[in-house]
A and B are shown apart, each in its own frame.
Chain A
Amino acid sequence: MSTLKVTNLQHPSAASANVTLDSSGNAAFSGGITGVTSVNGGQLGARNAIINGAMNVNQRQLGTQTVNSTIYTTDRWQANQTAAGKYSVGNSTTAPSGFTNSFLATSLSAYSVSSTDIFFFQQNIEGYNSSHFGWGTSDAKSVVLSFYVRSSLTGTFGGCLANSAHNRSYPFSYTISSADTWERVSVAIAGDTTGTWLTTNGIGIQVIFGLGGGSTRSGTAGSWQASTLYTATGAVSLVGTSGATFYITGVQLEAGQLTPFEHENYTTTLQKCLRYFWRKTRVSNQNSYLSLGQGIGTTEVLATLSYPVPMRAAPTYSSSGSTHVAAHASTDFTQSGNSVSNTGVDSTGLNITGSTGAADRCYRVFIFGNDNYIQFDSEL
């Protein structure tokens, strides 16, 4: 090993030094830097089109859920099925080095999939966040999908990328070679130059991981196809083995070449998730307040409520119970229902119905009862 001691590096045709070095360890570049795949092991910033790829944000705190319809558990991740009760999903603390959480799917029976069956989980990437891929144009960029995965089963697993209309599909496959062992997998995918890919607040790209699929839902891995596919032909069926487990975390979809997973601080990921879903849960008196409200006659209190961040679309409202939003003043309002009105992407009117109210009285509006909640859903 030898050391080259110089202060300037200069191309023969350049008018001045391309790189200037100083005694403090600084390097100054006169032009741009290209081809850098990582800095300090990987943080180039905002590379990942997937939100909550590390599965850290879990506002719903649902625990393990049997998949009987479309359900969301870990923020931004949706589980689906064509036959109810064949697997469960949840957020797990089993994770590879550098991670603390994963998404877990567990088979609940040994189910033989029919030709039209499909079991999968997915994240729908908003068009605003995938528009830079340029899909559907001649400038479509290649991407890399990477993730850490662990299963009690081994073999060739499958998944698919698809557009909003689901008439463009790219089935992919990957191999899990050792049971119950974390492995990092990457799949390179050529950008799609055809098809319609939304660049709006609709679904830009569906990123689908198959857990078992029939022949009509599966396609040959490795190419774009003008059909509705969810997984790769011949992929392992998790739901076919009772008790089989599938963990995944560190999911990343990025343009160009594979880089290390882009870790974010929790607040950054939470802020991104809040665009799609916000649940406010009362865990104590200190975080129960929602807003101030005004008595409308004796049977209604109307308050205004702003969301933490503007949401993707006007959200659907629900609460944990009809008496779980309360309004108190010098004389308490007796609540019996709650709903919203004039809902927009950044705020809503919160209506509490009941009795014993007073017109124009000012009320403190809050969530009544620990562990009760209100939530706003603008998921894709």
Chain B
Amino acid sequence: MDEMQITSAQYVLSSLTGQNDHIKATIDGVEMSVPFDPANRHYAAIMQAVADGQLTIQEASE
């Protein structure tokens, strides 16, 4: 059981590569940079929320 309140999520581009680099998310009221690592509990929770239809990750701003 790992309860998180994820209120927003958006991909962020790398300024070096121009590719999606991480997710900027607001979790439990705190803005966080979440890497694409399945072993990261925040990333796992975001992906679970997406799979459950409770969250959409916004595209990155140019």
Residue A8 interfacial (CB < 8 Å): no
Residue B51 interfacial (CB < 8 Å): no
Contact of B21 among A78, A118, A342 (CB under 8 A): A342
Contact A340 B33 (CB under 8 A): yes
Residue A158 interfacial (CB < 8 Å): no
- CB-CB under 8 A for A317 and B41, given A70-B2, A80-B1, A351-B15: no
Q: Which of B45-59 contact A (CB under 8 A)?
A: none
Residue A343 interfacial (CB < 8 Å): yes
Q: Complex: how many Å from CA A70 to CA B35? A: 20
Contact A343 B33 (CB under 8 A): yes
Contact A315 B3 (CB under 8 A): no
Contact B39 A300 (CB under 8 A): no
- The smallest beta-carbon distance between B54 and chain A, in angstroms, is 15
C-beta contact mask, B1-23 vs A, less than 8 Å → 1, else 0? 11111000000101110000110
Contact of A341 among B22, B30, B41 (CB under 8 A): B22
- The smallest beta-carbon distance between A163 and chain B, in angstroms, is 14
- CB-CB under 8 A for A80 and B3, given A300-B15, A342-B21: yes
Please give me the residue from chain B that is nearest to A71 by CB atom: B28
Contact B32 A317 (CB under 8 A): yes
Please give me the residue from chain B that is nearest to A201 by CB atom: B39
**Extra 20 A-B pairs, beta carbons < 8 Å, given A314-B37, A343-B35:** A70-B4, A118-B1, A201-B39, A202-B39, A302-B15, A313-B40, A314-B40, A315-B40, A316-B32, A316-B34, A316-B42, A318-B30, A318-B32, A339-B22, A341-B14, A341-B21, A343-B37, A351-B15, A377-B42, A378-B40
A sample of 9 inter-chain contacts (CB < 8 A) reads A312-B39, A313-B37, A314-B36, A314-B39, A316-B33, A316-B42, A318-B32, A341-B21, A379-B41
